[in-house]
């Protein structure tokens, strides 16, 4: 059997042009499977990494995302007095109300129009989100028309550069005074503006979209939530920040994964057909060799095994190439709309071992399915008839 397998693998090199063409098709399949999974992983990671287990988010009841929520400013004080809220060094509750909206700004290349998420923030925003740091310029001065932009947003839209400016509303210019970084989370795709400027420009005086609170410990969430949700007339939804970002990450990530799987299905059908054609051709060309092998005593199962070994080797070669190409994608920036919030978000492909293994298993399955019927045909050949061909 080892000699038979060596012979089978050498035959791939003897037919290297068709081997390379078929391996290239399988590589494309693996690339699509791996890249779509990596992009889906990246979308989820980008959104979920903005959350912290010790933070809670309060929004209007039955609202899916922050931009559609509206709460009275007085609710900020009510949340600040809820049990379990952490205090800062000055003894003040780590609670902030934020106004979240969208702004349509022309792309810097003038090729397209994109939607930027504007977050009206208070002076304590950096204390509440310690994972965010200013990497250029300075923080916003309270009660001034100033903004800081996320690292992934810099230069992508008109005016969103350090020292630039843009309009929240007609004749309402805002100056960009800093750039912040949140270690690749979705916050890097936002623009933070002083909350008073956002309210006055967008007609939201006296309201906030959401209220974020830092808790003394994640286990204090139930105690924090209960007094805020027991009064049904107030109409508050209280969730863990991690749960909120997981929820809004699902639509886009699931769509991208589904599109990738659909495309991979199409490629897999083509790859199976190509593999089948190649191996049917190999069987026709090697009839006499197959007849000799059968005459030498090799059983049909050995012939099937040899041909399937060729198919699997071909698949693994294509899988190696496709995986190598897929591993280059994390170097790319990918911008698309988050379907849950409507904002333009920068994502990165995120490789995970399980994702790559699924793609490789898919390639092997294609090889086995494509090589099975030709292998069975070869095994059923009568040795005398095959040698006379």
pLDDT in tens, 43-80: 888 889 999 999 999 999 888 899 889 999 999 999 99
**d(Cα 34, Cα 22) in Å, to the nearest integer?**
18
Q: What is the DSSP pairing of strand 190-194 with strand 95-106?
A: unpaired
For residue 181 the two structure tokens come to 């970084």
Q: Is residue 118 part of a domain?
A: yes
- Please write the tens of the pLDDT for every residue from 146-177: 999 999 888 877 788 999 998 888 888 899 99
Does residue 289 sit in the same domain as residue 170? Answer: no
Q: Is residue 226 part of a domain?
A: no
> CB of 36 within 8 A of CB of 223?
no
- Say what percent of the chain tops pLDDT 70: 86
Does residue 162 sit in the same domain as residue 137? Answer: yes
Does residue 180 sit in the same domain as residue 254? Answer: no
Comparing CA positions, the residue from 318, 301, 308, 303 lying closest to residue 279 is: 308
> CB of 258 within 8 A of CB of 36?
no
Q: What average pLDDT score do residues 253-276 get? A: 82
Q: Is residue 227 part of a domain?
A: no
Q: Tell me what pLDDT residue 113 has.
A: 65
What is the pTM assigned to this prediction?
Answer: 0.80
Q: What average pLDDT score do residues 109-123 get? A: 78
Q: What average pLDDT score do residues 178-197 get? A: 93
Q: Is residue 235 part of a domain?
A: no
Q: Tell me what pLDDT residue 388 has.
A: 58
Q: Is residue 224 part of a domain?
A: no
Does residue 212 sit in the same domain as residue 258? Answer: no
- Please write the tens of the pLDDT for every residue from 200-259: 888 888 899 999 999 999 999 999 999 998 877 777 899 999 999 999 888 878 888 888
Q: In terms of residue numbers, what domain contains 290?
A: 2-48+249-388
Q: Outline where DSSP puts E strands in the chain.
A: 55-60, 71-72, 95-106, 113-121, 133-137, 146-150, 165-169, 172-181, 190-194, 207-208, 210-214, 236-240, 334-337, 344-347
Q: Tell me what pLDDT residue 119 has.
A: 95
**d(Cα 9, Cα 310) in Å, to the nearest integer?**
6
Name residues whose C-beta falls within 8 Å of residue 21's C-beta, 6 or more positions apart in sequence: 274
> CB of 242 within 8 A of CB of 52?
yes
Does residue 41 sit in the same domain as residue 93? Answer: no
Domain boundary among 216, 235, 270: 216
Overall number of domains in the chain: 2
Does residue 288 sit in the same domain as residue 382? Answer: yes
Q: Tell me what pLDDT residue 211 has.
A: 95
Q: Is residue 357 part of a domain?
A: yes
Q: Is residue 135 part of a domain?
A: yes
Q: Tell me what pLDDT residue 258 has.
A: 85
Q: What average pLDDT score do residues 11-27 get? A: 71
For residue 19 the two structure tokens come to 């081997």
């Amino acid at each position: 059997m080892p000699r038979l397998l060596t012979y089978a693998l050498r035959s791939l090199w003897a037919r290297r042009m068709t081997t390379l063409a078929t391996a290239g098709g399988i590589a494309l399949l693996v690339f699509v499977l791996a890249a779509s999974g990596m992009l889906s992983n990246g979308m989820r990671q980008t959104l979920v990494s903005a959350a912290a287990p010790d933070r809670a988010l309060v929004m209007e009841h039955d609202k899916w995302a922050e931009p559609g929520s509206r709460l009275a400013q007085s609710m900020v004080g009510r949340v600040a007095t809820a049990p379990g809220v952490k205090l800062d060094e000055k003894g003040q509750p780590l609670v902030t109300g934020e106004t979240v909206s969208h702004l349509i700004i022309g792309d810097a290349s003038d090729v397209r129009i994109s939607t930027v998420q504007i977050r009206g923030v208070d002076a304590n925003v950096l204390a509440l989100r310690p994972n965010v740091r200013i990497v250029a310029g300075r923080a916003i001065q309270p009660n001034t028309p100033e903004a800081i932009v996320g690292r992934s947003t810099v230069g992508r839209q008109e005016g969103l550069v350090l020292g630039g400016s843009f309009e929240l509303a007609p004749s309402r210019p805002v100056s960009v005074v800093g750039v912040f970084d949140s270690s690749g989370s979705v916050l890097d795709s936002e623009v933070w503006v002083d909350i008073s400027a956002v309210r006055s420009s967008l007609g939201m005086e006296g309201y906030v979209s959401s209220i974020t609170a830092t808790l003394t410990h994640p286990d204090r969430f139930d105690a924090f939530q209960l007094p805020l949700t027991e009064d049904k007339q107030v109409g508050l939804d209280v969730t863990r920040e991690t749960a909120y970002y997981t929820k809004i990450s699902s639509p886009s990530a699931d769509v991208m994964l589904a599109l990738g799987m659909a495309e991979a299905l199409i490629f897999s059908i083509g790859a199976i057909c190509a593999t089948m054609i190649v191996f049917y051709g190999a069987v026709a060309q090697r009839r006499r060799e197959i007849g000799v092998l059968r005459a030498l005593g090799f059983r049909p199962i050995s012939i099937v095994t040899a041909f399937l070994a060729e198919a699997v080797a071909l698949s693994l070669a294509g899988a190696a190439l496709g995986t190598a190409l897929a591993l280059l994608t994390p170097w790319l920036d990918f911008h698309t709309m988050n379907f849950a919030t409507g904002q333009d978000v920068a994502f990165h492909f995120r490789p995970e071992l399980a994702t790559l293994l699924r793609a490789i298993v898919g390639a092997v399955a294609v090889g086995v399915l494509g090589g099975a019927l030709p292998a069975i045909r070869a095994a059923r050949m009568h040795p005398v008839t095959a040698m006379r061909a």
